A and B are shown apart, each in its own frame.
Chain A
Amino acid sequence: MSDTTTTAQKGQDFEKTLDQSDTKVATFEVKHHTLLERIQHVLHNNPTLVPVIVLLVSLSAFGLIAGGTFFSAFNLSLILQQVSIIGILAAAQSLIIITAGIDLSVAAIMVLMSVVMGNLAVFAGVPSGFAILIGLFGGIGAGVMNGWFITKVKLPPFITTLGTWSIFYALLLWISGAQSIRGQDIDTEAPFLKFFGAAFNIGGARITLSALLMIVVFIALWYMLNKTAWGRHVYAIGDDKDAAEMSGIRTDRTLLSVYGLAGFVCALAGWASIGRVGSISPQSFYEGNLDSITAVVIGGISLFGGRGSIMGALFGALIVGVFRSGLRLSGVDVLWQVFAIGWLIIIAVAIDQWIRRVSA
């Protein structure tokens, strides 16, 4: 034990001696005895398991209660379609929440950019592709603006995005004149804006491009977060920003990129929403920011940052969709849907807290 360098080559042999000499270090892993503790440990290592289980359980429960209509391929694909816009927003929100931030402006950026795209393409005669490009860059700009206030002016994300939420919202009212753009006007002037509304059928299912887009966005962001250095840095910042800074991460630059990317994803959601909704209304998705946070939280992503898989937000959005559809088809009044979603949030956060206690 005293001369570790010479014993290092022996590997396994060395570990044995260490086990005997330094019990305190080695005993930590044999502590998990009870079933509950073991479950806690498994969930801690795989935080996405909770939403997956909830999704499967609620799917089968509503399948039993609401019957065949609910469980049809068509209805399941419809749920996918219905959650697609909020799902994409939730992906953007997850990025921010993983950095221990929060973005109240996601829906405002989304609607603002859809209005920008619509006004340019339908009324100003800008070619659709170009209008969309401007909207997407606008999204990046809006996100970077959030990021700049947070990293350079050192404002808390909550306050910053509370402010920019109002700013973007006011801009959107100004640009749109509080007017919606009719579906038929979009069809004649700029049908490409509705690109993500297109759909194809597989079996009984009807898959819209917006639903596909949601899945692609999630896979792409999952890849970036888990398979690239950038993603590891995003998690490290959310976990402990000071530690991340000290271990050599340029935290401000990374945070700026996170907010910029989130803004881009929001603008993408804005484009997809034109296809989904059919028209462009400044009154759409007013609660989109809260809906996105709901999906993220139910998906097991910790609001304290650094924990949870972005895939959780996809499952979170799907759970909300399944609950809404299932309760609707079971003939439950709207207010009880709201009630149920509220409980889901509380339970999700409680489970998150419980899982986090595993290391204590």
Chain B
Amino acid sequence: MKTLTISSALALTLTAGAAFAETNACLITKTDTNPFFVKMKEGAAEAAAANGINLSTFAGKYDGDVATQVAAVETCIASGAKGILITPTDSRALVPVISQARETGALVIALDTQFEPADAADATFATDNFKAGVMIGQWAKAKMGADAATAKIALLDLNASEISVDYQRDNGFLHGFGIDIKDPTDIGDEDDPRIVGNDVTDGSPDGGRTAMENLLQIDPDINLVYTINEPAAAGAYEALKSFGKEEGVLIVSVDGGCPGVRDIAGGVIGATSMQFPLLMASKGIEAIKAYAETGEKPQNSEGLDFYNTGVELITDQPVDGVASISSEEGLKKCWG
């Protein structure tokens, strides 16, 4: 098996026609459909070219496509990759194959989504999704002022499986707004009367629209809408518009995709927390380079079990006590 690995690695280097010292690295994303991952791939490719790293990229066919990701990791091991950047589509299912990869001496960095346990990978470069939620929650509370005490809140989440990104953003938002979130890993266990209900969107505009319509049927006076991402927010806005309620309802979101930032400028979304997929990827490539040269592994941010690539609040209606940048500045930083 070992000779096979070596020979195939050799074959790869030979076919690539590269110098002997070239470092191989892999990027494995959840899908190729989400601009977030598309941007991440771009960032990784740029950084790889700048650092003289030979990068192979892989992606699952859909969210939760574990099999394709496992096969991708195996291919990376076989090609003798020095480092693997991966957005695990399932935090637990990929742990065994990741351990295999680390045993062969590869540096494994989880991007965007943590493994469970987090130390299954050498490091995680991710957005602090809870904090991203807290920021929009605080903004919404300050924006509503006295009305916050009587707010009627709709929560448009991702899907029924309640993955970590989903509950972290949702609970972060509620926490920031000043609602007792009880179990921070559970969605929908809150009993605050201001919450009208939760529904799922699959992170898409059609899901966002249907979910918003459903919640408006439960209470037509909803005036604050949390959304898992900006496409869902765009769908929610369409639903509000069709109910004639687009005025006076605050929509908040997380992501920082360029269409989302333009929706901030267009008054569709009140505020969104921007994350930085490009940065995750480029930092990841740099870490692989450092590891290949010095054997040094990256460190986590202080007080967190991952390396925080940062979050910024984007809004054109800044409030006191919550740092934010305008949509105009946001457009320069946005991804996709």
A and B in contact, CB less than 8 Å = yes
Binding site for B on A (CB under 8 A): 69, 75, 78, 81-82, 85, 166, 169, 173, 177-185, 197, 199, 206, 208, 273, 276-279, 281-286, 324-325, 328-329, 331, 333-335, 338
Additional A-B contact list (4), CB under 8 Å, known A178-B32, A334-B159: A180-B259, A278-B241, A324-B214, A331-B197
Which of B62, B206, B231 lies in contact with A285, CB distance below 8 A?
Answer: B206
* Residue pair B231, A180 in contact (C-beta under 8 Å): yes
Query: Quick check: A283 and B213 within 8 Å, CB to CB?
Result: no
| Cα–Cα distance between A338 and B258 once the two chains are bound (Å) | 33
CB contacts between A and B, total, < 8 Å: 112
Task: From known contacts A78-B217, A273-B206, infer whether A281 and B62 are also in contact, taking CB-CB under 8 Å.
Answer: no
Chain B residues closer than 8 Å to A75, beta-carbon distance: 217
CA distance A226 to B271 in the complex (A): 54
When distances are taken between beta carbons in the complex, the residues of chain A under 8 Å from B52 are none
CB of B259 within 8 A of CB of A182, answer yes
A277/B209 in contact, CB under 8 A: yes
B160 & A338 in contact (Cβ 8 Å cutoff) = yes
Query: Does the CB pair B217–A329 fall under 8 Å?
Result: yes
Determine the interface band of chain B, counting residues with CB < 8 A from chain A. Answer: 35 or more
Asked if A182 and B234 make an inter-chain contact with CB atoms under 8 angstroms apart, the answer reads: yes
Partner of B262, one of A69, A182, A334, A335: A182
Instruction: Give bound CA distance, A82 to B35, whole Å.
Output: 26
Interface check B235, CB cutoff 8 A: yes
CB pair A329 B218 closer than 8 Å: yes
Q: Contact: B213 with A78, CB < 8 Å?
A: yes
CA distance A279 to B200 in the complex (A): 18
Say yes or no: B238 contacts A183, CB within 8 Å. Answer: yes
A interface majority secondary structure: helix
Instruction: Please indicate the chain B residues that have their CB under 8 angstroms from the CB of A182 in the complex.
Output: 234, 259, 262-263, 266, 268
B230-281 contacts to A (CB < 8 Å): 231, 234-235, 237-238, 241-242, 258-259, 262-263, 266, 268
* A290, chain B: closest CB distance, angstroms: 12
Residues of A within 8 A of B234 (CB): 180, 182-183, 278-279, 281
The docked-state distance in angstroms from the alpha carbon of A325 to that of B218 is 10
Q: Smallest Cβ distance from A332 to chain B, in angstroms?
A: 11
Confirm or deny: B51 has a beta carbon within 8 angstroms of a beta carbon on chain A. Answer: no
Interface residues in B130-163 by Cβ distance below 8 A to A read: 159-160
Task: Tell whether B204 is near chain A: CB-to-CB under 8 Å.
Answer: yes
Q: Which residues of B sit under 8 angstroms from A279, Cβ to Cβ?
A: 205, 231, 234-235, 238, 259
User: How far apart are the CA atoms of A237 and B61 in the complex, in Å?
Assistant: 34
Judging by beta carbons under 8 Å apart, are A82 and B199 in contact?
no
CB neighbours of B231 from chain A (8 A): 180, 279, 281, 283
Evaluate contact between B202 and A286: CB separation under 8 angstroms: yes
Cβ contact within 8 Å between B204 and A286? yes
Q: In the complex, what's the smallest C-beta–C-beta distance from A117 to chain B, in angstroms?
A: 16
Please, which residues of chain B bring their CB within 8 A of the CB of A334?
A: 159-160, 199-200
Please name 28 pairs of A and B residues whose Cβ atoms are closer than 8 Å in the assembled complex, sorted by A.
A173-B32, A173-B33, A178-B32, A178-B34, A178-B38, A178-B336, A179-B336, A180-B231, A182-B262, A184-B262, A184-B268, A278-B205, A278-B209, A278-B235, A278-B238, A281-B204, A281-B231, A281-B234, A283-B203, A283-B231, A284-B204, A284-B205, A284-B206, A286-B204, A325-B217, A328-B218, A333-B188, A334-B199
Min CB–CB distance B59 → chain A (angstroms): 10
Q: Quick check: A276 and B209 within 8 Å, CB to CB?
A: yes
Smallest Cβ-Cβ distance to A285: which chain B residue? B206
Name, among A166, A184, A206, A333, the residue most crowded by chain B CB atoms within 10 Å (CB to CB): A184
Shortest CB–CB separation between residue A318 and chain B, in angstroms? 15
Q: How far is the CB of B197 from chain A (nearest CB, A)?
A: 7
**CB contact under 8 A between A325 and B197, given known A180-B231, A279-B205, A281-B205:** no
B210 at the interface (CB under 8 A from A): yes
**With the chains together, A281 CA to B259 CA distance in Å?**
11
Given A75-B217, A178-B38, A338-B160, A184-B204 contact (CB < 8 Å): no
**Alpha-carbon distance A285/B318, docked complex (angstroms):** 35
A169, B61: Cα distance in complex, Å: 10
Chain A residue nearest in CB terms to B213:
A78
What's the Cα separation between A335 and B160 when bound, in Å?
Answer: 6
Contacts of A333 in B (CB 8 A): 160, 188
Contact B259 A328 (CB under 8 A): no
